[in-house]
Amino acid sequence: MEFFDGTKNWVASARSIADTHEAALVAAKRAYAAMPGLSLTEQSMYGAGLINDIIYSTRASYSTFNSTFDNSSIMDINNNSAGRRYSLRSYAKDDYMTAFNDAYWVDIEWYDTGVGSGDRERAWSNWQ
C-alpha cells in the first residue's frame, strides 16, 4: 500500500505517518494508565482520540514536548527526520550501499550514552 497526500509529496506523507506513530505510542500509554480495565480495543479507541491533541500540544510548547516524549521517542524523531532528508539527495537508484553507509556512519544517531539537551532541542526543531 502506498501513502501519499494526493500531490505525491512522499516526504510530507512519511512525516505525517512517523509523527502520528510517535504520538500514538504516548496515547497508548495514557489510555492504559487512565483506564486499565478497558479491553485493548477500547484502550486503542480512547488512545486514538488523544493523538491530535498530543501532536498539537507538543508542537505548541517546548516544555510539553519534553515532558511528553521519552528518550527513545527523541531518538526516533531525530532519526525519522534524518531518513526523510534522504529523499532530497541524489543517490543513484541502485546505489543503496552509499545511502546505507551515509545513514549508518553519518546521519543516524546512536544513543548509547543517553539523550542530552542538544538532542531534545534538535528533536523539538524537527517536530515543528
- DSSP for 75-113 reads HHHHHHHHHHHGGGS---TT-HHHHHHHIIIIIS---TT
Contact between 34 and 46 (Cβ < 8 Å): yes
Q: What is the CB neighbour count within 10 angstroms for residue 74? A: 25
- Binned average pLDDT, 10 residues per bin, the chain of 128 residues: 56 90 92 87 88 96 97 92 79 80 76 83 96
Provide the pLDDT for residue 14. 87
Provide the pLDDT for residue 44. 85
Q: pTM score, two decimals?
A: 0.80
Distances (CA, A) of 57 to 38, 66, 68, 101, 127: 26, 11, 9, 36, 11
Provide the pLDDT for residue 82. 85
Q: In angstroms, how far is the first alpha carbon of the chain from the final one? A: 27
